[in-house]
Structure 1
């Protein structure tokens, strides 16, 4: 296997229900602003419309990138991380694909901190991820939409 052998995955928030909720909030803000325009100043009207639009832009640009190669695992949740977080294989005790519950284990999607020893999670959608257990017993879960390909890649990597 050559050194350029790499697994790469990029995910974004593209779930229809998130966008439906955001559009509803924006529409409600616009309706409420114009319906009650006698009570609001111009700056309050602009603010009540700009905040939902800025949140929509933020949700649109968020992306989770995962790279796995013979050196280790890299993950980045843009725009919160401009550079990849690097986890070398020498610091990792165990890696496996598992099913998880984003809501009950981590409280949702994004950059999350689990309760009761679950560790940290980077996830965008779905309920499958790569569980990393470090030698210091800390844990990290990275969500994936390509669990089959990732599992095959990890199995190939083990052979090296």
Structure 2
């Protein structure tokens, strides 16, 4: 493995929203004169499931001589591979997740998808079938080094717009 990165949702603003809305969602039930276990569970279980989901959700990117592989656990458990032979060109760039893809996570419509956890730097793959894939990264320096080396050996055009 030449490059591996695993990212989690650790943004303070996200956890603040989750932790503030949890008591707010339970408060009406607790303040009710007829508190019962069923109504409390109906309110509490989905909130706890969301918290657990954000704790375990992660994006793993692996790059080797054969492919670029991504997993977005728990939604993509088996690695999704992008073979070097299927890639037309690659760009390491800054982008606007909210504007271009509608936010973070597994995003995008049609032939332009994004897999990202946080930040605004990503590796954009332009595939030979016309599809585009943006893979977010928190480690652009190491990613650049590995991608530049592999693209050179694979004769795939690579552009790093972060260095401009």
Q: TM-score, normalised by structure 2?
A: 0.88
| Structure with the higher fraction of residues in strand conformation | 2
Which of the numbers 88, 94, 106 marks the counterpart of 2:101? 106
Partner Cα distance (1:50, 1:105) in 2: 33
Partner Cα distance (1:65, 1:151) in 2: 17
- Residue 49 (structure 1) aligns with: 44
- Residue 137 (structure 1) aligns with: 130
Unaligned runs of 5+ in 1: none
- Residue 22 (structure 2) aligns with: 26
Q: TM-score, normalised by structure 1?
A: 0.90
Partner Cα distance (2:131, 2:25) in 1: 42
Which of the numbers 82, 85, 91 marks the counterpart of 2:80? 85
Shift of 1:72: 1.2
Unaligned runs of 5+ in 2: 154-164
Q: How many residue pairs end up in the alignment?
A: 153
Q: CA RMSD in A?
A: 1.5
Shift of 1:148: 1.3
Partner Cα distance (2:99, 2:148) in 1: 29
Partner Cα distance (1:121, 1:37) in 2: 47
Which of the numbers 52, 67, 74 marks the counterpart of 1:72? 67
Deviations 1:79-133 (A, max 9, x none): 0111100110000001120111111111111001147x6x000000000000000
